[in-house]
Amino acid sequence: MDGNSRATGFMGKVLVEKILRSCPGVERLYLLMRPSKGQSVDCRLQEFIQNQIFTKVKEQQPNVMEKITAVTGDVTLPQLGLSPSDLQLLTENVSVVFHSAATVRFDEELKTALVMNVKGPMELLEICRKMKHLEALVHLSTAFNNLDREEIKEEVYYNPKVNPVKLIEFLDGLDDETLKIITPELVGGCPNTYVYTKGLAEQLLETKCGSVPLAIVRPSIVTAAESEPFPGWVDNMNGTTGTIVAVGKGICHVMKINKKQVSDIIPVDYPINLMIAVAWYLASHRPTGVPVYTCTTGHQNPLTWGMLKHWVMQSWLKFPTKEMMWYPSVHLTINDLSLKIRQTLFHYLPAYLLDLFMLATGKRPKWVRLYTKADKAFVPLEFFTSHQWRFISDNPIHLSKEMTTEDQEIFYFDVRKINWQNYFENYILGVRKLIFKDDPVTLPLARSNLKRLYVVRHILSLIISMFLIFIFKNIFLSFILIGPQTFSLFTELLSL
């Protein structure tokens, strides 16, 4: 089996590592890469194969990285920007294609999102038609489309008011300014252009695939690995990981999240294993239509945001980082007034005090800017942390039953077996090692710092409480001495 994937992203790395380690029948992997930041594709490939995610597989198979061939291309260009020779190489040798390239920015301009998330897959589909030995095309989508429904089944949904083919042709003729003006109307009930374009891509692919053996995999919120390539593997601070980092550092103390609702996170190794199993099933069973596989936990092993907070906090207190700004704690609320008050007290007030101190000591202030940026980054996520959907995920269970017991163990994706407590402990250990670069020997020092911050926190809380008692006591005495009417006038003056 040969494969093709744009593999430089978070999920792409895990996919390549898993194929190299667990699919010995694969003779060659063709990875679509584009030159960037002055680096040639060859340089990027060398940098890619040095990533520590491949440490384990290189120890087991010293020459395994020789199976990888980088192909120069760009998903935003016609025919993916492939040269005639590379296009011929792929059409004559590739049998399985994994498509994971996309822009995941929620605030991406619609035109850019369309090029990456819709036109890119369509260009790939046309190339797949020319492949002489194609057995499977697995398209990575997202569970978060069609969010106008409370229950989302494993099928491609269509908007009867929109013909996706004609819509793309119409949008191609618009200038950037006009497109920006009509974007809110086009996106409609979708929270952002990412969700809108991923749903549109599904519709177009199913409409246009014809005889191409196509399947769609829909993961939810992808987070650190549960087990492979090793427990807690993560290489960026996007999304949930960035929030967990901010909490562990003692920076973030309040977020707009409904703690009673299901979080629906999914460890990265689960959708990766599912993608490989889906490719096998497409090639060996040739199902009719375009099967959809939803890879989520809410249906089979639900974890609420409140439970997530509990296990994250327990794990941070057990394995703290050596450099904390403050004692880790976080409050979840969906009340906007409560959110603003707590942000003012626990984010911006300390930030202004710290910046004043930095100015007084001749340093450049940064904390107010940091909190403003962090709050702005979290706003697009609030739609997902304050709404609830039920993602039906029966097809992965049915697929698992078609596999041998040995393959079920190698390519595991049964989310019912996830132990959330163990998962978050490994997640935090992964963040310490891979994001913070904390050496394990620093753990005793980190725990000592945590105890010190705990004491300081309680002393400060006591001082603030005594101060508030003093203030309210004097207000109460003033109320008695000056009388209710005068006191009412006094409070009105204070509120001006």
pLDDT of residue 37: 76
Q: How far is CA 327 from the centre of its chain?
A: 26
Q: Is the pLDDT of residue 484 over 80?
A: no
pLDDT of residue 482: 52
Which of 116-120, 230-234, 275-279, 483-487 comes out lowest in average pLDDT?
A: 483-487
pLDDT of residue 4: 39
Q: Which amino acid is at 393?
A: S
Q: What are phi and psi of 212, to 5 degrees?
A: -70, 125
Give the residue with greater pLDDT, 349 vs 308: 308
Write out pLDDT tens, residues 437-483: 999 999 999 999 999 999 988 888 788 778 777 777 777 666 555 55
Q: Is the pLDDT of residue 487 over 60?
A: no
Q: Is the pLDDT of residue 493 over 70?
A: no
Q: Which helix (H) or strand (E) covers residue 136, if one does?
A: strand 136-140
Write out pLDDT tens, residues 278-290: 999 999 999 989 9
Report residue 489's pLDDT band, with 50, 70 and 90 as the boundaries. very low
Alpha helices by DSSP H, 23-132: 41-49, 55-60, 84-93, 110-114, 120-130
Closest CA relative to residue 423, chosen from 341, 312, 273, 272: 312
Question: In which order are the strands placed within the sheet that holds 68-72?
Answer: 68-72, 28-33, 2-5, 96-99, 136-140, 214-219, 292-295
Report residue 178's pLDDT band, with 50, 70 and 90 as the boundaries. confident
What is the pTM for the complete model shown? 0.88
Q: Is the pLDDT of residue 306 over 80?
A: yes
β-partners of residue 304 are 262
In the chain, % of residues over pLDDT 90: 55
CB atoms within 10 A of CB 171: 17
With beta carbons less than 8 A apart as the criterion, state whether 196 and 187 touch: yes
pLDDT of residue 108: 79
Determine the Cα–Cα distance for residues 47 and 207; give it in Å rounded to an integer.
38
Q: Which helix (H) or strand (E) covers residue 375, if one does?
A: helix 367-378
User: Which residues touch 199 (CB under 8 Å, ≥6 apart)?
Assistant: 145, 146, 157, 190
User: Which residues touch 234 (CB under 8 Å, ≥6 apart)?
Assistant: 10, 223, 224, 225, 241, 268, 427, 430, 431, 434, 435
Which of 111-115, 312-316, 490-494 comes out lowest in average pLDDT?
A: 490-494
β-partners of residue 294 are 218
pLDDT of residue 452: 93
Determine the Cα–Cα distance for residues 318 and 315; give it in Å rounded to an integer.
5
* Mean pLDDT taken over the chain: 87
Which of 90-99, 174-183, 250-259 comes out lowest in average pLDDT?
A: 174-183
Q: Is the pLDDT of residue 88 over 90?
A: yes
Which of 45-59, 155-169, 375-389 comes out lowest in average pLDDT?
A: 155-169
Alpha helices by DSSP H, 299-361: 305-318, 336-343, 349-360
Closest CA relative to residue 263, chosen from 297, 212, 314: 297
DSSP state of 250: T
Helix (H, G, I), strand (E, B) or coil at 260: coil
Q: Is the dihedral of CA 432, 438, 440, 446 positive or negative?
A: negative
Report residue 492's pLDDT band, with 50, 70 and 90 as the boundaries. very low
Q: Is 172 exposed, middle or buried (0-12, 13-18, 19+ CB in 10 A)?
A: exposed
**Whole-number Cα distances in Å, 165 to 76, 343, 426:** 18, 45, 45
Write out pLDDT tens, residues 342-393: 898 889 988 898 899 889 988 899 899 988 888 888 888 888 998 899 999 9
Closest CA relative to residue 144, chosen from 87, 109, 106: 106
Q: Is the pLDDT of residue 237 over 60?
A: yes
User: Which residues touch 436 (CB under 8 Å, ≥6 apart)?
Assistant: 245, 321, 322, 323
Determine the Cα–Cα distance for residues 6 and 10; give it in Å rounded to an integer.
11
Q: Is the pLDDT of residue 68 over 60?
A: yes
Q: Which helix (H) or strand (E) covers residue 18, if one does?
A: helix 10-22
Write out pLDDT tens, residues 106-134: 777 888 888 888 888 999 999 999 999 99
Helix (H, G, I), strand (E, B) or coil at 414: coil
Closest CA relative to residue 218, chosen from 150, 269, 274, 261: 274
Determine the Cα–Cα distance for residues 368 and 385; give it in Å rounded to an integer.
24
CA atoms within 13 A on the CB side of 202: 27
Determine the Cα–Cα distance for residues 346 and 352; give it in Å rounded to an integer.
11
With beta carbons less than 8 A apart as the criterion, state whether 264 and 143 touch: yes
